[in-house]
Amino acid sequence: MPKEWNGVLEFAPEKYQEMYQRVYRATQVLTTDAEPEVAPTPKEVIWTRNKTKLYRYISDQPKKYKTPLLLVYALINKPYILDLTKGGSLIEYLVERGFDVYLLDWGTPGYEDRNMKLDDYIMDYIPRAVRKVMRKSKVEEVSILGYCMGGTITSAFAALHPELPIRNLVFMTSPFSFENSGSYGPMLDERYFDINKVVETLGVIPPEMIDFGNKMINPMGTNFGPLISLVERADNEKFIKSFKLLRRWLNDGILFPGEAYRQWIRDFYQNNKLIKGEMVIRGKKVKLENIKANILNLAGKNDLIAPPHQVEALMDVVSSEDKQFKILPVGHTSITYGSQATKITYPTIADWLEERSN
């Protein structure tokens, strides 16, 4: 604390001294502390297209499982939430378990990418990445893990590309039905939210707009809850480390290409086309019943962004014989980072893949 306060605080009751210390440390975290390092797992770029990069993770340990795993993240924020820090990284865990892990990083779009559509990601980027993974790993089958929106678009990709040998699909908190989307329903109701005007005005959607919408699901909890927790636990350096890591990721948003955003809101939230079998991508209907791969579908019990019922809806429409749906005691972010993630999520995914990846 500032030296000039020492003389004043020594006469204050102990509880006020402790409170001041916590407030002062919290202020440091928010204003002067250096940002933490992220994405520590070694990797190499093996393919690029526009802003997108395909990474392969490097390990001195021999690969135990033949089938490689491709991770597909959302078009929102950056994918290093999957590799946030040593000891708190799904990617690190899977690599150490002996999996051959790849990540499709969409990069940071600019205004020049405003006309990018979901069609481009589903019909061009993901298929080419899958083929590159198979060539690089010299295999004939792949596994894919889709997180959040990344899982939703992966399901459309899998349905439209039965010619590609996808052995396993893992979905983490990915919404498939949008019939009852909670607070998003009234916020995105087409009577009040004119998606065409939004896209035509902005071109690309700023991350602050998307972040604001997510926070409005639970405005008090998401806006003030973390700050209150920071002050209350400012004497806990382990908590502070986690707070800074998550804060960096949450504040590291990226632009959302306007045309892709138009489809995401209109076709998914406003018209629920995917689960109804009405979605059309480049003239082809997306039929989820075409999916026959083994499926592990994970939902978070406390997830407000993709509640369990939205995630579970996939199970009734796919043709997979080996399919499992599990609700884990986590939220939308804590499914991939935090104590519950390391104890429950990571081994759940690895154990399931282990039996299906040889």
The encoded tokens of residue 310 equal: 């939205």
Long-range contacts of 271-279 (CB under 8 A, 24+ apart): 272/177, 272/178, 272/179, 274/152, 274/155, 274/156, 274/176, 274/177, 274/178, 275/176, 275/177, 275/178, 275/179, 275/313, 275/314, 275/317, 277/317, 279/156
The encoded tokens of residue 313 equal: 């809806």
Dihedral angle sign, alpha carbons of residues 212, 218, 224, 230 = negative
Among 105, 113, 267, 303, the active-site one is 303
Place of tokens 């990344």: 150
Measured distance CA(311)–CA(269) in Å, rounded: 14
Place of tokens 């559509």: 117
Among 83, 105, 119, 332, the active-site one is 332
Contacts of 214 (CB under 8 A, 6+ apart): 222, 305
Among 100, 105, 120, 148, the active-site one is 148
Whether 113 is a known active-site residue: answer no
Contacts of 354 (CB under 8 A, 6+ apart): 65, 97
The encoded tokens of residue 265 equal: 């809101």
Whether 332 is a known active-site residue: answer yes
Burial code of 34-51, b = ≥16 C-beta within 10 A, e = fewer? Answer: eebebbbbebeeebeeee
Nearest alpha carbon to residue 57 among 87, 36, 80? 80
The encoded tokens of residue 79 equal: 């994918």
Nearest alpha carbon to residue 132 among 68, 42, 74? 68
* DSSP annotation of 267: I
Nearest alpha carbon to residue 211 among 117, 77, 307? 77
Catalytic residues: 148, 303, 332
